[in-house]
């Protein structure tokens, strides 16, 4: 299998009936609103916007690229016929395998690629149809489905991160909003200490596999480029930026590179974030002194705007986070693990449900505390709920039923304080350090009552199967 290419994938998506073209939408709000309508359909599709107001045909914007199981499965190299259940089963082991195999699929630098078809020293980011996605946004955001490239000053390791980027200075630059705990922010701080400035680059259109890798918590010693290579079974190809030397996907659609300095900031935001609320209030944010702009002929900007769930990448994050947390919990040695789901209602981060088969006193609390502070789960977690193995963690109705019958609020809810929060948390006040608290909710039967807890009042699976065979018309 070769490294991922967006245009090849788009042709496959069209053949599979998963790509829809929209002609004539305006970059001012209409692309964002139509994307939102799409996410809330029963089966969203990938949307390709062309003939965009004020722009020539061929300058395009793509959204919804990972918004359903068929799209996400194909992006991850798992084929086009996946369901939710298929993805959960496959991804229970795949992310761990990709991490283990990343070292065998290190990215390869090549001399040329489609990205280098056009190289501009005169910077004008608004030559591309950058949307203003939400009505309350403070500007046009070129980086939503982006992969921001940074380098560890000491080790040279490359990181890709999905950080929002707003067009600044009438198109001559872009701000990059990176949370303090992220690997990209750590890289920049170390460069500032050593050199007073830091190199930075961003791919702004690419195969959605790069969006997936940049948007989940890949371990700090693994480059997301190598992770994508392991995902596809072959090293990805990169080209070195002419100004910074940072690697960019050789077939990316649009990319920029330049430098950031600790005191070079612009007011940024607000922006409709994955929490479902607008985040930011014209805060000063690091801004890139862009030296080079690269783009293919007829380039495609990859959009992945967040907002009130479901949004562009909430399904992807839910599936990927659930799988990664499952793998992390297994590696702790936690016994009896039956399922994990990071619900879309919490943006794939803030509401985690863990199902276990209880083995010993304190097992449920152990599972809850481990989950709440795993490196792959700790950022912006707010509720971690542990349920028995007879409860489907993906079904919020079942989870709430278990909480209502098995949780004693005075005994079974505990609160962890001063944990890893976020500036995009609507409860974080401007200027405050982004701590949060999180509730641990034990929604399991009390361990000491496992033998005599009231039985669940529902028909057995065997009886349900029997009557379903006799009266199939009841099933619809």
Query: pLDDT tens across 69-105, in order?
Result: 999 999 999 999 998 888 888 887 888 899 999 999 9
Using an 8 Å Cβ cutoff, are 342 and 326 in contact?
no
Question: Looking at the predicted structure, is the pLDDT value of residue 1 above 70?
Answer: no
CATH architecture designation of domain 86-303:
Roll (2.30)
Question: Looking at the predicted structure, is the pLDDT value of residue 453 above 90?
Answer: yes
Look at residue 233 in the predicted model and tell me its pLDDT: 93
Rounded Cα distance, 228 and 206, in Å: 12
Domains 86-303 and 313-449 share a fold: no
Look at residue 265 in the predicted model and tell me its pLDDT: 96
pLDDT digits (tens, 9 = 90+) for 32-77: 999 999 999 989 999 999 999 999 999 999 999 999 999 999 999 9
pLDDT digits (tens, 9 = 90+) for 158-207: 999 999 999 999 999 999 999 888 899 999 999 999 999 999 999 999 99
pLDDT digits (tens, 9 = 90+) for 322-372: 988 998 999 999 999 999 999 999 989 999 999 999 999 999 999 999 999
Rounded Cα distance, 24 and 12, in Å: 24
Instruction: Over range 386-403, report the average pLDDT.
Output: 97
Rounded Cα distance, 264 and 378, in Å: 30
Look at residue 220 in the predicted model and tell me its pLDDT: 82
What percent of the chain is modeled with pLDDT above 70? 99
The domain segmentation of the chain, as residue ranges, is 86-303, 313-449
**Strand pairing of 435-443 and 413-420?**
antiparallel
Using an 8 Å Cβ cutoff, are 202 and 267 in contact?
no
Look at residue 4 in the predicted model and tell me its pLDDT: 87
Question: Looking at the predicted structure, is the pLDDT value of residue 156 above 70?
Answer: yes
Alpha carbon separation from 403 to 345, 388, 409, 445 (Å, rounded): 17, 11, 9, 10
Judged by DSSP in three states, 84 sits in: helix
- Within 24-98, strands assigned E span 46-50, 60-63
Look at residue 429 in the predicted model and tell me its pLDDT: 86
- Average model confidence (pLDDT) across the chain: 94
What percent of the chain is modeled with pLDDT above 90? 86
Look at residue 44 in the predicted model and tell me its pLDDT: 95
Look at residue 373 in the predicted model and tell me its pLDDT: 96
Instruction: Over range 230-252, report the average pLDDT.
Output: 97
Question: Looking at the predicted structure, is the pLDDT value of residue 127 above 90?
Answer: yes
The reported pTM is 0.89
Instruction: Over range 114-143, report the average pLDDT.
Output: 97
**The Cα angle at residue 104 between residues 113 and 245, in degrees rounded to 5:** 40
Alpha carbon separation from 202 to 161, 228, 264, 395, 411 (Å, rounded): 9, 16, 18, 38, 48
pLDDT digits (tens, 9 = 90+) for 138-151: 999 999 999 999 99
Look at residue 180 in the predicted model and tell me its pLDDT: 82
Edge-to-edge strand list for the sheet holding 383-388:
337-342, 351-356, 383-388, 435-443, 413-420
Look at residue 88 in the predicted model and tell me its pLDDT: 80
Instruction: Over range 300-316, report the average pLDDT.
Output: 94
Q: How confident is the model at residue 118 (pLDDT cuts 50, 70, 90)?
A: very high
CATH topology classification for 313-449? UbiD C-terminal domain-like (3.40.1670)
Look at residue 216 in the predicted model and tell me its pLDDT: 86
Look at residue 418 in the predicted model and tell me its pLDDT: 95
* Beta-bridge mates of residue 351: 383
């Amino acid at each position: 299998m070769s490294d991922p290419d967006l245009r090849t994938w788009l042709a496959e998506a069209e053949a599979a009936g998963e790509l829809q073209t929209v002609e004539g939408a305006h970059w001012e709000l209409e692309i964002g609103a139509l994307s939102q309508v799409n996410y809330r359909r029963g089966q969203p599709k990938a949307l390709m916007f062309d003939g965009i107001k004020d722009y020539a045909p061929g300058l395009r914007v793509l959204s919804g690229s990972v918004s359903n199981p068929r799209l996400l499965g194909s992006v991850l190299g798992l084929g086009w016929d996946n369901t939710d259940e298929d993805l959960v089963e496959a991804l229970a082991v795949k992310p761990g395998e990709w991490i283990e195999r990343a070292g065998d699929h290190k990215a390869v630098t090549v001399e040329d690629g489609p990205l280098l078809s056009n190289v501009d020293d005169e910077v004008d980011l608004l030559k591309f149809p950058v949307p203003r996605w939400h009505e309350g946004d403070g500007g046009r955001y070129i980086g939503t489905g982006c992969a921001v490239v940074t380098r560890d000053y000491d080790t040279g390791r490359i990181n890709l991160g999905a950080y929002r980027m707003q067009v600044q200075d009438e198109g001559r630059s872009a701000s990059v909003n990176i949370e303090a705990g992220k690997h990209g922010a750590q890289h920049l701080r170390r460069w500032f200490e050593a050199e007073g400035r830091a190199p930075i680059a961003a791919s702004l259109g690419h195969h959605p596999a790069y969006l997936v890798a940049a948007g989940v918590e890949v371990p700090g010693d693994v480059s997301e480029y190598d992770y994508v290579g392991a995902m596809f079974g072959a090293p990805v190809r990169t080209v070195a930026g002419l100004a910074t030397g940072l690697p960019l996907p050789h077939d990316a659609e649009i990319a920029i590179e330049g430098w950031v300095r600790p005191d070079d900031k612009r007011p940024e935001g607000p922006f409709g974030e994955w929490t479902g609320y607008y985040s930011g209030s014209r805060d000063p944010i690091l801004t890139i002194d862009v030296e080079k702009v690269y783009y293919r002929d007829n380039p495609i900007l990859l959009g992945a705007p967040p907002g009130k769930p479901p949004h562009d990448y909430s399904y992807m994050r839910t599936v990927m986070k659930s799988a990664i947390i499952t793998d992390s919990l297994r590696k702790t040695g936690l016994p009896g693990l039956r399922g994990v789901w990071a619900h879309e209602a919490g943006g794939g981060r803030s509401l985690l449900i863990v199902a276990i088969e209880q083995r010993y006193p304190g097992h449920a609390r152990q599972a809850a505390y481990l989950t709440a502070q795993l490196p792959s789960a700790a950022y912006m977690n707010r509720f971690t709920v542990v349920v028995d193995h007879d409860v489907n963690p993906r079904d919020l109705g079942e989870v709430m039923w278990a909480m209502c019958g098995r949780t004693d609020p005075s005994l079974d809810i505990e609160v962890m304080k001063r944990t890893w929060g976020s500036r995009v948390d609507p409860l974080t006040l401007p200027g405050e350090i982004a701590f949060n608290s999180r509730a641990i909710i034990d929604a399991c039967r009390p361990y000491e009552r496992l033998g005599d807890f009231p039985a669940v009042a529902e028909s057995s699976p065997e009886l349900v199967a029997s009557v379903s065979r006799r009266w199939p018309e009841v099933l619809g």
